[in-house]
Structure 1
Amino acid sequence: MASNLPAPEGIENQEPPTAGAWGEWNPTEDSVRSVRGKHRVAKQRGGLARSSTVLGVGVIAAVGAGGIATAQDRPQVAISMPSLPDLVPDGSGVGITGDTVRQAEAGSEQAAGAAAKAGIIPQQSDRRADPGEVLRNRILQQADSQQAAAAAQAQAEAERVARETATQEAKDKLEAARKAAEEAKAAAEAKAAEEAKAAEEAAAAAAAKAEQERLAKLAGSYSLPTSAYTLTSHYGVAGSMWSSGYHTGLDFAAPTGTPAKAVAAGKITSAGWSGAYGYRIVLELEDGTEVWYCHLSSMSVTSGTVSPGETIGRVGATGNVTGPHLHLEVRKGGSTVDPLAWLTSKGLNV
């Protein structure tokens, strides 16, 4: 195979030796050793492999340095030059044979076919595919991507709406439960208030009934001090006519001789003249309460025990008076109390 390499410097005008003049040339390690500092090999730019360049440079260097070297006394070495299609530079300085390239291409085609079956890349039967087909495939891929994105967006929107709906439903249920609890509480409070009111009314009715029963029972035990009377001066009324400065009893104005009766069972502890009170009878009841009958015209009972309603004297105008009346005083523990309130508490309608 003829070489297109340029001749090294210093040997441009030399004629290549003929086979007849040289005989057979068998280069050895010494004869192909490169000459340092004198000859420079031009960098190959093309399709030749670096191994071919090195071999050619060694041959030219041997010829330029020592001329034609004979190697009749050395064993013959056969040299075979690889053809150009079998050497493909791989960019790393190491030659790759054509078989290696074909094996790599076959592996690439198998990998591409597997990827196309898996849906990663579209299968192409020819490396030089139609540009229109490539564009169509890209458009289809973009459409699929857009459809997938739209489906994902629609699903996300549906999930968002579902979450919002569930949240609103939960809020509505919570609000309904709260309102129901408030209504139940209000109903319970109203019922409790009604029951309390009914109980209070029932208690009041029971108390009133008990009071009526008590007064009815007392009515048989107590009696009004006189009859056919008119109340004239009440307890506590202030005036100069009374030595204490106020009225200490209750006045029952009645005609002279009207009977004065025992208000309850008791005993007569005092009967006689008592100054400004005129004729007075003191009746002591079983609980120690004293009842004074004053201004009497006469005294029927002056000692001993008496029964409720028994006549013990007569209404008169003795003592410090302006007219006939019964001055009734009620004393507890030595102090006066309102006779009207006391008689009422005993069930008497004064």
Structure 2
Amino acid sequence: MEPVTTAAVAAAADVVANRKEYFGPKALISTLVVILVFLWLVFAPFSRVSVANGMSSTGDQCVPSGASTSTLETIEKSVESDSTLKGKASLIESTANANNIPPTLFAAILLVDSKEIAKKPKVDDEIKSRGTKFKGVQSPTEAAAKKDGDTAAKNQWESSLGSKYEGMGGTPIDCAGYYLQSGSGYFQFPLKKITVTSWFDWRDSPTGGQGREHHGGIDFDCGPLSNPDKVFAARKGTASVKVDPGGFGNYVVIDHGDGMQSYYGHLEKATISNGQVNQGQMIGYCGTTGRSTGTHLHFEVRKDGTAVNPKGYLPPIN
């Protein structure tokens, strides 16, 4: 709570001490203003709680509030101390966008490889060449898969890239306490509140009678059906609304291009039609339709038709 200012207290005291002078219309208006200011100072902090936690109050979109640093500015700050890449931020961003790479991820790739790039005769041409080489990658893991070298070298490079990318990931914007990367191409969380109930891994069948099974996504806890949580598109793309009574139940698939798709399973209902959706746009409500043991969201990411661990595409999960 913000402290009540001494000026407001003094003004209120003056009203009481000199009440006999406050019977005319102007005096009454002044008194009302003092009271309203006093009430605002006391209760304003509470009215801002929902926005202060990072969620904008714009309705059905999980829109990060408080973004103060653009992607280009983030890249400029990251490369300004690198003699090879200094002054190349605009080229880095445009090359990344042309090759469907998150710009900050591409900048991190170049920073990790800066010494190699410095040996090339034309740095600009080398930046463009690496854009083509890493075309379509969305995470350090995907980038490492396209890197030259043996497994040990790739793993070490991926570790360096992950640290660099995390360290220069733009301005972290809090959405109910969880990080989103605004405009970077990252998948954002599909819910405003994140509680993982089952990871991408082998597990005992939750419905019983089918032994061990591989869980191809991450399950997130949801509120009760009486007040279901809203589900949001993790990334922009082309949405298809589907029904699979024996599996995902009511679900949505979003095709993001370059072989990437995200799945949103067991919805109570979808709130969109087939077509384009934006990142952060509401697409439905959590439910327990299909093969499900309780209200939750099954979130799955597929690359070229194969389920991959969503954790490699989402912001850090604490």
Tell me the TM-score range normalised by the shorter chain: 0.3 to 0.5
**Structure index of larger Rg:** 1
TM-score, reference length from structure 1: 0.37
Name the structure with the higher strand share.
2
TM-score, reference length from structure 2: 0.41
Name the structure with the higher helix share.
1
Tell me which of the two structures has the higher relative contact order, counting C-alpha pairs closer than 8 angstroms and 6 or more residues apart.
2
